[in-house]
Structures are given as structure tokens and as C-alpha cells.
């Protein structure tokens, strides 16, 4: 592990990332050209400026690549590890970190194979590989146990880890996670396909971002919007097709799970996947927040922080049977 204490965003360490079409045949993610990476890094730095200063920055070696991690807060207790959505990275958590840090240290990871400062070195072949790099990263951080919170595909990644390599997983919080409790909608398929089409006009990318964010206007005016837009434009992913997790796999997860679905999400039918989650989870708390879109983490940061704090406190102090006694969010 390469670790640096007290990193300041303006001096953020930039690893040697994959740039250029020479990486195409290596079956790894890469930035399309130098100009694209410069554009992405500018958005990353601007977004990072809105975060609390990290107490630690680390590039964690795994068999499949190096994973960029940041630790925020210096308190004790079991940390909360945040996994971002597709085309995003650590700067997307600007709204969430202040609230989440009130009760415990927080670690953020840039997903391997996605835009960010993690660097993929070998192909990711399947769901087991997707879990392997994450498991190795938690080991590299010296964590015995960690709570995981993932939004969107980060939620799928957290659940996939609990299925394939659960040794470090203390609990799961899944925010509008796709393909965990059912398949995605045709709208989300359209967004996913549109995000990887090279040469797409910026106004079309803005439309996709607005669509998935519940109608938010001019998403590129926000740092996280610029970050995601650049990721869509400037980064080429080579990831295995994300598969809907089998019900029997999800049912075998033994740790406590808090699953929150956005009522206005375009990703899936919230009520339908919530019903499935209630049916299959062995130890689950399932909620639908009717006014939330798929951009739930940015829309309700204070509510999420409060809900997560209550859930994790019970997970650590009371036992599985008590989670179902939490009051509804709204």
C-alpha cells in the first residue's frame, strides 16, 4: 500500500493512469487521450475541493490493478466504506461526507475499471473478479470488518462482495442499487448504452444525466456533473456485463442489509424490487422513499446520514432482529 497522510486536494497525487488506444487490446479501462484525462482530472480536483480534507490517501495494490482510497475522519470504530455509482468517483460524496463523518470514520474508493484514480492492470472477467479487487482493497487497508454503503452500481458491488468474499463485510447499505433484487428498466438500458457511445453531443449527455437525476437541470454546472459527463465522454470501460444477482445468492447474505429505493428512479420499479428485497433478504430493512430519484444521495444527504447512523448503531449494538423496528423514513 502506498499511503500519504494529510493529502491536500490541490496537491492531490495523480497515479500513472491508462491513456490512449494502446490499451484497447489489453482489455482494461483507459482514458481516450491526454486531453480527455486533463478534462477529467480538472473536474475531479474541483469536486475534491468540496470534500473535507482526507486524513489518508492510499493506492492499494491488487492482482487486478491499484485502487485509490481516501480516509476521512480520525475516530475509532468500524469504518464505513463508500462505493460510488457508475462513471463517478470519490468527489460525488461531497454532500454526504459531513453527515456520515459525525459518527464514524469514512473511507471512499474509486471503483476499479471505472473513471477515477484507480488504475486497472488486468481484465475483469466476471463477478468473482469484481469482488476480488474490492476484497483485496479492504485487506490492504488493514480492515478486519467494514460497513459498506454503495449507491447505484456501487450498491451492486457491495452486495456482490458479500456474496463472493464476505470476510470483511459487517453490513450493507444499498442506495437504489440496480440488479440486486431484479432487472433494470429499458430507460436505464438506454442511459447505459448512451453513456459509452463515443462522439455523443454534449447536450445529449446532459439529457441522459438529467434523466437519471430526476430532471435536474444543467448537471454539468455541478462538479459531480462535470465529473460524470467527462467520465462518459473521456473514459473507455472494459468491464464484464453486470448480471442480476440470483435470488438464492442474495438470500445467502448473512450480514444486516439496509436497502433504500428511490420512488422516482428510472432504474427499476421501486415497489417491485422492494417487495422482492423484503422476500429474499435474510436480515434486511427495506424502504422506498417516494420523492427520491436515482440521485438519492445528493437529494437527501441529511436523511441518509441519519438513517445510516441508526442502522449501523443497531447493527453493532443490538442484533439482527431489531432492524425491522426502525421507524419508516417518510
Ordered DSSP codes for 209-274: HHHHTTS-S-GGGSHHHHHHHHHHHHEE---PPP-PPPHHHHHT--S-EEEEEETT-SSS-HHHHH
pLDDT of residue 265: 87
Judge whether 174 lies within some domain. yes
If one compares 76 and 215, the residue with the highest pLDDT of the two is 76
Query: Cell 442511459, residue?
Result: 191
pLDDT of residue 194: 52
Q: Are 157 and 138 in contact (CB under 8 A)?
A: no
If one compares 322 and 11, the residue with the highest pLDDT of the two is 11
Beta carbons within 8 Å of 107's beta carbon, 6+ residues apart: 69, 70, 71, 72, 79, 80, 81, 82, 141, 146
Judge whether 178 lies within some domain. yes
Q: What is the pLDDT of residues 190-239, one digit of tens each?
A: 555 555 555 555 554 555 555 455 445 445 566 778 898 899 889 999 99
Model confidence at 319: pLDDT above 90: no
pLDDT of residue 215: 47
- DSSP state, 205? H
Model confidence at 135: pLDDT above 80: yes
User: What average pLDDT does range 46-56 have in this prediction?
Assistant: 94
Q: What is the pLDDT of residues 243-301, one digit of tens each?
A: 999 999 999 999 999 999 999 988 899 999 999 999 999 999 999 999 999 889 999 99
> 36-66 burial string, b = 16+ CB within 10 Å, else e?
bbebbbebbbbbbeebeebebbbbbebebbb
With bands split at pLDDT 50, 70 and 90, how would you rate the model's confidence at 10? very low
Judge whether 86 lies within some domain. yes
Judge whether 206 lies within some domain. yes
With bands split at pLDDT 50, 70 and 90, how would you rate the model's confidence at 56? very high
Beta carbons within 8 Å of 224's beta carbon, 6+ residues apart: 47, 88, 91, 92, 94, 298
Q: Are 118 and 65 in contact (CB under 8 A)?
A: yes
Judge whether 324 lies within some domain. no
Query: Cell 441519519, residue?
Result: 306
Judge whether 298 lies within some domain. yes
With bands split at pLDDT 50, 70 and 90, how would you rate the model's confidence at 102? very high
Judge whether 188 lies within some domain. yes
With a pLDDT cut of 90, the percent of the chain lying above it is: 72
Q: Which structural domain range is residue 205 located in?
A: 2-7+30-318
Judge whether 58 lies within some domain. yes
User: What average pLDDT does range 16-32 have in this prediction?
Assistant: 96
pLDDT of residue 45: 95
Phi-psi region of 170 (alpha: psi -120 to 50; beta: other; left: phi over 0): alpha
Which cell numbers hold the place of 259? 436497502
Helix, strand or coil for residue 30? strand
**pTM for this model (two decimals):** 0.88
Model confidence at 325: pLDDT above 50: no
Q: List the CATH number of the domain containing 289.
A: 3.40.50.1820
pLDDT of residue 330: 41
Count of the separate structural domains present in the chain: 1
If one compares 210 and 135, the residue with the highest pLDDT of the two is 135
pLDDT of residue 199: 55
Q: Average per-residue pLDDT in the chain?
A: 87
pLDDT of residue 228: 87
Amino acid at each position: 500500500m502506498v499511503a500519504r497522510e494529510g493529502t491536500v486536494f490541490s496537491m492531490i497525487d495523480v497515479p500513472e493512469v491508462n491513456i490512449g488506444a494502446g490499451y484497447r487490446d489489453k482489455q482494461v479501462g483507459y482514458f481516450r487521450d491526454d486531453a480527455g484525462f486533463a478534462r477529467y482530472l480538472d473536474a475531479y480536483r474541483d469536486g475534491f475541493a468540496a470534500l473535507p480534507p482526507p486524513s489518508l490517501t492510499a493506492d492499494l495494490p491488487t492482482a487486478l490493478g491499484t485502487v485509490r482510497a481516501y480516509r476521512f475522519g480520525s475516530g475509532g470504530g468500524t469504518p464505513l466504506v463508500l462505493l460510488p455509482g457508475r462513471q463517478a468517483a470519490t468527489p460525488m460524496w461531497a454532500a454526504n461526507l459531513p453527515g456520515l463523518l459525525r459518527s464514524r470514520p469514512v473511507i471512499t474508493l474509486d471503483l476499479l475499471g471505472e473513471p477515477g484514480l484507480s488504475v486497472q492492470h488486468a481484465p475483469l472477467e466476471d463477478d468473482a473478479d469484481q469482488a476480488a479487487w474490492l476484497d483485496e482493497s479492504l485487506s490492504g487497508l488493514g480492515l478486519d470488518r467494514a460497513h459498506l454503503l454503495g449507491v447505484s452500481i456501487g450498491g451492486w458491488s457491495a452486495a456482490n462482495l458479500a456474496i463472493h468474499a464476505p470476510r470483511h463485510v459487517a453490513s450493507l447499505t444499498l442506495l437504489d442499487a440496480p440488479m440486486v433484487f431484479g432487472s433494470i428498466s429499458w430507460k436505464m438500458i438506454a442511459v447505459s448504452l448512451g453513456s459509452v457511445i463515443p462522439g455523443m453531443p454534449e447536450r445529449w449527455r446532459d439529457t441522459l444525466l438529467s434523466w437519471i437525476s430526476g430532471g435536474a437541470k444543467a448537471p454539468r454546472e455541478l462538479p459531480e456533473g462535470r465529473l460524470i459527463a467527462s467520465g462518459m465522454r473521456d473514459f473507455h470501460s472494459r468491464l464484464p456485463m453486470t448480471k442480476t444477482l440470483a435470488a438464492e445468492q442474495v438470500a445467502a447474505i448473512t450480514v444486516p442489509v439496509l436497502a433504500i429505493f428511490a420512488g422516482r428512479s428510472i432504474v427499476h420499479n421501486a415497489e417491485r424490487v422492494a417487495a422482492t428485497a423484503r422476500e429474499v433478504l435474510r436480515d434486511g430493512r427495506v424502504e422506498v422513499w417516494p420523492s427520491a430519484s436515482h440521485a438519492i444521495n445528493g437529494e437527501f444527504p441529511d436523511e441518509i446520514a441519519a438513517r445510516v447512523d441508526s442502522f449501523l448503531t443497531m447493527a453493532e449494538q443490538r442484533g439482527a432482529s431489531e432492524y425491522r423496528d426502525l421507524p419508516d423514513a417518510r
